[in-house]
Amino acid sequence: MSRSNGPRCGYVAIVGRPNVGKSTLLNALVGQKISIVSAKPHTTRHRILGVLNEGENQAVFVDTPGHAGRSKRALHRLMARAIHHAIDDCDLVLILIEAHGARPQDLKLFELLAERDARAIVVVNKIDKLRGRSRLLPLLAELERHPFVAFVPVSAKTGENLGQLKAAILEHLPHGPALFPKDIATDRNTEFRAAETIREKLLGQLHQEIPYGLTVEVEHLGRIEDDRWLMHALIWLERDSHKPIVIGRDGRVLKRVGHEARIELSRLLGARVHLELWVKVREHWSDNERELRRLGFDSP
């Protein structure tokens, strides 16, 4: 990349089916945890920006929810809309697939990108799970049939080939000045990131369908001492029957969630955190547009 052409900057959408590693890749590219990660599908619900600065160049990544089938629920509709808007509004698209091969959902995304004439790089993720890299050859040969600008095998988990991916991204961004100051890593505020951290810990503790009917709202965040923060957070559920499961026998589940969340929130805020959690029920919140807007979701 020649210096005479000036810096490059642009928006880069990260798309792919659920659990393909989009949030892990975003965090690896930016160099810090911006988006929460779990093994459960549809962990990412919001449009989240992460900013990478490489010298004078800047890539603004847009993490998107997992691309899935159609649904009548308002929450799922807005998640699908976030994907479409990201593809339409970005300068470049990273489409993630797994190293073991493309699935029908991946092929649907290929078609969607072709319809929108989107410039895309295929990121073949999780190469660390392959026993031999020669297994990639048939997949790469198949991908060459599609009009993508590049194909880059990586492991978002181990960081393998991330440098090659960053170079390919910056090479295909338009010329222009940085959009964000260099000390900004994301567009999301501390309350949002704290709520997502708590939700991540809940996802790790709950092994039924409840995670898809809960969200977290930080009601209060403020300093109570120079080295201590006070945080009040509400865990919203859709059914009364879910409360005892989230709280756990003698409050054990909620205590574990609070303990794990405090550790990470202390790192985020750079000081000790006194965290108070309350579990409340608001029926059908995920299918109520007014509630979704109040809870910080984009309008479906």
The answer to whether 190 and 268 have CB atoms below 8 angstroms apart is: yes
CB 161 within 8 A of CB 148: no
Tell me how far apart the alpha carbons of residues 245 and 254 are, in angstroms, rounded to a whole number.
Answer: 9
What residue ranges define each of the domains in the chain, with the CATH number in brackets?
3-171 (3.40.50.300), 190-294 (3.30.300.20)
Please check whether residue 63 is in contact with residue 25, taking contact to mean a CB–CB distance below 8 angstroms. Answer: no
Q: What is the predicted pLDDT for the residue at 11?
A: 96
What pLDDT is attached to residue 293?
75
Q: Is the dihedral of CA 34, 171, 183, 46 positive or negative?
A: negative
Are 216 and 235 spatial neighbours (Cβ–Cβ below 8 Å)?
yes
Among the listed residues 72, 75, 90, the one whose alpha carbon sits nearest the alpha carbon of residue 42:
75
Give the chain's residues under pLDDT 50.
1-3, 299-300
What would the two tokens of residue 186 be?
């994301």
CB half-sphere exposure, 178, CA atoms < 13 A: 14
Q: How far apart are CA 293 and CA 16, in angstroms?
A: 25
At which residue do the structure tokens 């660390």 appear? 128
**What is residue 2's predicted lDDT score, i.e. its pLDDT?**
42
- Taking only the tens place, the pLDDT of each residue in 207-243 is 766 667 889 999 999 999 888 999 999 999 998 999 9
Handedness of CA 226, 34, 50, 116 (dihedral sign): negative
pLDDT for position 209: 62
Please give the pLDDT value at position 46: 73
Q: How many CA atoms lie within 13 A of 67 on its CB side?
A: 26
The pTM (predicted TM-score) of the whole model is 0.85
Integer Cα distance of 94 and 122 in angstroms = 6
Could you tell me if 78 and 299 are in contact, meaning their C-beta atoms sit under 8 angstroms apart?
yes
Residue 3 confidence (pLDDT):
47
CA dist., res. 124 & res. 118, Å (int): 18
Q: What is the pLDDT of residue 41?
A: 67
Please give the pLDDT value at position 24: 93
Contact 254, 248 (CB under 8 A): yes
H or E element that contains 297 = none
Tokens (6 digits) for 195? 């709520």
On whether the CB atoms of residues 28 and 78 are closer than 8 A, the answer is no
